[in-house]
Structure 1
Amino acid sequence: MKILYGVQGTGNGHIARARIMAKAFAKRDDIEVDFIFSGRDPSRYFDMEVFGNYRTVSGLTFITENGQVNRWKTLRQANVRQFIKDVKQLNVAKYHVLLNDFEPVTAWAAKMNDLSSISISHQAAFKHKVPKQGETWADRMLMRIFAPCDVNLGVHWYHFGFPIMPPFIEEPYSKATTGDHVLVYLPFENETAIKSLLKNFPNEKFICYHPEIDEPFSNENSQWRPLSKQTFQQALFDCAGVIANGGFELSSECLQLGKKILVKPLKNQYEQSSNRITLERMNRCESMDTLDPQVVSKWLSKDSPEPIRYPDSPDILIDWLMEGDYMDTKVLCKQLWETTHFPESVRLALTHNG
C-alpha cells in the first residue's frame, strides 16, 4: 500500500502525532508512506529524521500575535495563487489513500483527483457535537473547506458517542517523575510578557520553551531554551506541572503522565477554547484568559492528578487502513477505546458533565 500523509506544520502537535504514526509505519514492510508538511518555513522544522525524504509546501497558516490569532494578517498573508499551484502540481496518482492531519494542499489534491482521503486530526472531532466554545459561522466554514476529506476520524480525549479515536501517546506514566520545576510552553505569547508573569514567583523554578529562542539562557528564576523534542520531553517527564496554551497534543501527554495543567487558550482560536471546556469537564485543568499571576499562584498549590492511560501504538488503526473499508469506523473506534483506561474520577466527571 502506498500512502500519502499530509501534515499541518503550523503547530508541533500535528507533527508529534505524525511522528508516532511514522514510527509505526517504519516497522511494516507492506506499506510505503510519503510525508508532506505545510504551513511553516522549511528552516523552522526540527527533529524530522523519522519522516525520511519528506517534502514541504507553502500551504496556508495562521498568524498569531500576543496570544491571539490575527485574522486580518492571516488573510493578508495567504498566498492563494501559490496554494492553487501547489495543489495542481501535486501528483497523487500512485497513492492508494491520503491520510491528512489538517493539511490543505494534499486534501484538495486528493479531492480534485478522486483519491480516497481520511482525516486523522483533532480538528475532525469538531465536525461532531463535542464540547465547543466560541465557534462561529466562519469557524464552521473553515473546518469544512480548509482540508476536506472523505472520512473524518477525529482524535479527542473522549469519544462523546461519535466516530472519534483516542490520542496515541508513546510515553508511559512510568517515565514521569515529580521534579521541582514548572514547564512553560506558550509559543503564541510575547516572550517579554511571559518573563513579566514569572517574575511574580521568585521561589519557583521554570523551564521555558519558545520558538523565538535560538540559544539557551537563564533569567532569574527561569531557564529559556530553543525548541527541541528530546530536551522538551525530558523537561516534561520531570516537571511538577505545565503552563501552556490550549493545544491538544501537549495536553494529551500531560493527561497520560499525570501532570497538572494550567491552560491559557489562544484568543480567537475556538479549538483551544473548546479544549479547555473538555479538560474542565474532565476535572483535569485550571485555566486563564490572560497571563494572570493570581491564577498561576492558586494553580501552583494544586496536587498532581491521576493519569489517564491512552493507547501507545496506532497498530490497530494501521491494520484497519490495510483492510480498506474506510467507511466502517465503528469497530475501529470501539477497539481503540477498549485499550483506554480512565480513572474513576474522570469517568464520573464525563458521565455527569457529558
Structure 2
Amino acid sequence: MKYLFVVQGEGRGHFTQALVMQERIRMRGDEIAAFLVGKSSARQLPDYFLNQATAPVIQFESPNFLPAAQNKRPGLWKSVFYNLLKLPVFISNMNFIRKQIKLYEPDIVLNFYELLTGLTYLFMPPSIPMVCIGHQYMFLHRKFRFPKKSPVELFFLKFFTRLTSMGADRRLALSFYPMGDDISRHIVVVPPLLRSEVTRLEPVKGDYILGYMLNSGYLSEISKWHEHNPEETLHFFWDKKDAAERLDISSTFSLFRINDKSFLKQMAGCKAYSTTAGFESVCEALYLQKPVLMVPAHIEQECNAFDALRAGAGIVSDNFDLSALLQSIAIYKPNTLFRRWVANADTLIFSELKEVYLSHKYPERKGLIWNYHA
C-alpha cells in the first residue's frame, strides 16, 4: 500500500505521530509517497522531523492560532480575523492538496488533523480514501466527557475537529484508555502512537523536573518560581526560533531547544514532568510512569488534561505551580494497564487501514461494516 501523509504543523504531537506511523508502515513493506505539512510563519519545522522523514516534505500555508498577549494562550478572535484575511491563500492551497493527491496516487491519505485536508475533501473531494488520526477525534465521540468550560469554546473545538475530517472513511481516535467505538460517527478508538524509543526506555527516578512549553511566554512564570526555589533543578524544552541548543539560566535551571532524543532521555530520568497538556508527551510520561503537572494553554489542552486525569496522569493547574507537582510525587500511582493498551496499537490501527483499502479497491465490500458518507 502507498500512503500520502498530511500533517498539521503546529506543536510536537502530530509530527511525532506521523513519524511513528512512518516507521510502522515501512516495517510492513509499504510506502509513504510524501509528507504535506500545513505550517504557519510563526513555526519552524523541527529538525528531528525533517531529519527522520524518509519521503519528500512539502510545506504549504495553513490556518493557525496566533499567540495572545505574553505569548501564552492563543488569541481566538485575533486568529479568526487573521485567517479570514488569508482565505484566498488557503483556497489555493486546497487545490494544491488535491493536485498532490492526484500526482502521487496513494491508496490512502492519512490526515493528522490538518484542516485544509478536510476542507479539500468537503469542497473538491478526491477519489482517494482519507483516514484521519488524532486524539482530537475523541471529542466527537458520544461518550467522551468534557470539562466544565465555555460552551462556545467547546462548540468551536468540535466544529473545527469535524472540519478536519470531512469526507473521511475513518476517524481513528487516539485515547488514553479503551472505549467502545462510536459506529454512527465512524470513530474507532485506538491506543496512542508511541515511538519505539519510548517503549525501549528504562525509567529511573532522577533529581530534576522536566518541562516542555510550546509558547515562550511561560518562561517568566517558571523563572519566577525558580527564583524562590533555586535548590530545585529544572530542565525545560522549548521551540523558540534561533534558540541555542542549551541555555543555562542558572546552575539549576536550563532551557533546551526541542530535540526528540534528548527529550526522551531526560523524560526517562526525571522525577516529574510539567507540560502545557499536549496529548503526546502526556502519554509518554504515563508510559514511563512519571507524575505530570498539566497547564492547559487552550481549550483543546483543557480537554486533554481533563481526560488524562481519568487515566491517572497527575494534576492540572492554571499555572506552572511546580510546588504542587513536587507534592504530588508522594501520592502518585502509576497506571500499570496503560502499557498493555499501548501494545495493541498496531493491531487495531492497521486492521482499520486494511478495511478502508479493501473497501475502496473492491466496492462491493463497502457497507459490510460501515457505509459512510461524510
TM class by shorter-chain length?
Answer: 0.7 to 0.9
Question: Which stretch shows the higher mean deviation, 37-46 or 124-133?
Answer: 37-46
Task: Give the aligned residue type for 1:257.
Answer: L
Alpha-carbon deviation of 1:233? 1.2
Aligned equivalents of 1:297 and 1:236: distance in 2? Answer: 16
Instruction: Name the residue aligned to 1:109.
Output: 120
SS at match of 2:48: coil
Contact 2:192–2:345 (Cα < 8 Å) also in 1: no
Aligned equivalents of 1:40 and 1:19: distance in 2? Answer: 20
Alpha-carbon deviation of 1:304? 6.1
Alpha-carbon deviation of 1:159? 3.2
Query: How many pairs does the alignment contain?
Result: 329
Cα deviations across residues 301-331 of structure 1 (Å, max 9, x unaligned)? 554625420128636533542342567999x
Instruction: Name the residue aligned to 1:219.
Output: 249
Alpha-carbon deviation of 1:121? 0.9
Matched, 1:72 2:104: no
Contact 1:218–1:224 (Cα < 8 Å) also in 2: yes
SS at match of 1:199: helix
Task: Give the aligned residue type for 1:12.
Answer: R
Q: Which has the higher helix share?
A: 2
Aligned equivalents of 1:313 and 1:164: distance in 2? Answer: 10
Task: Give the aligned residue type for 1:217.
Answer: L
1:121-140 → structure 2 map (5 Å cutoff): 121-128=134-141, 129-133=143-147, 134=149, 135=151, 136-140=154-158
CA change 1:233–1:50 in 2 (3 A) is same
Instruction: Name the residue aligned to 1:47.
Output: 48
Alpha-carbon deviation of 1:14? 0.8
Cα deviations across residues 23-44 of structure 1 (Å, max 9, x unaligned)? 1122233434321111344744
Alpha-carbon deviation of 1:87? 0.8
Instruction: Name the residue aligned to 1:100.
Output: 111
CA change 1:230–1:297 in 2 (3 A) is closer
Aligned equivalents of 1:54 and 1:286: distance in 2? Answer: 37
Aligned equivalents of 1:54 and 1:290: distance in 2? Answer: 36
Contact 1:259–1:304 (Cα < 8 Å) also in 2: no
Matched, 1:143 2:152: no
SS at match of 1:298: helix
Instruction: Name the residue aligned to 2:279.
Output: 248
CA change 1:179–1:312 in 2 (3 A) is farther
Matched, 1:236 2:249: no
TM-score for both structures, normalised by structure 2: 0.80
SS at match of 1:305: coil
Contact 2:165–2:171 (Cα < 8 Å) also in 1: no
Contact 1:23–1:50 (Cα < 8 Å) also in 2: no
Matched, 1:168 2:193: yes
Gaps of 5+ in 2: 182-187, 360-365, 370-374
Aligned equivalents of 1:172 and 1:256: distance in 2? Answer: 8
Aligned equivalents of 1:278 and 1:32: distance in 2? Answer: 32
Identity score, percent: 20
CA change 1:114–1:240 in 2 (3 A) is same
CA change 1:173–1:3 in 2 (3 A) is closer
SS at match of 1:36: strand
CA change 1:245–1:71 in 2 (3 A) is same
Instruction: Name the residue aligned to 2:65.
Output: 62
CA change 1:265–1:26 in 2 (3 A) is same
Task: Give the aligned residue type for 1:56.
Answer: Q
Contact 1:173–1:257 (Cα < 8 Å) also in 2: no
Gaps of 5+ in 1: 331-354
Contact 2:277–2:295 (Cα < 8 Å) also in 1: yes
Instruction: Name the residue aligned to 2:299.
Output: 270
Alpha-carbon deviation of 1:288? 0.6
Aligned equivalents of 2:255 and 2:354: distance in 1? Answer: 44
Alpha-carbon deviation of 1:89? 2.3
Matched, 1:292 2:282: no
CA change 1:2–1:205 in 2 (3 A) is same
Question: Which stretch shows the higher mean deviation, 163-172 or 32-41?
Answer: 32-41
Alpha-carbon deviation of 1:293? 5.3
Instruction: Name the residue aligned to 1:33.
Output: 33
Question: Which stretch shows the higher mean deviation, 65-74 or 11-20?
Answer: 65-74
Cα deviations across residues 248-302 of structure 1 (Å, max 9, x unaligned)? 0000001111111011111xx3221122222222332111112335534533555
Contact 1:110–1:116 (Cα < 8 Å) also in 2: no
- Give the alignment's Cα RMSD to 1 decimal: 2.6
SS at match of 1:126: helix
Matched, 1:258 2:289: yes
Task: Give the aligned residue type for 1:46.
Answer: D
Question: Which stretch shows the higher mean deviation, 298-307 or 275-284?
Answer: 298-307
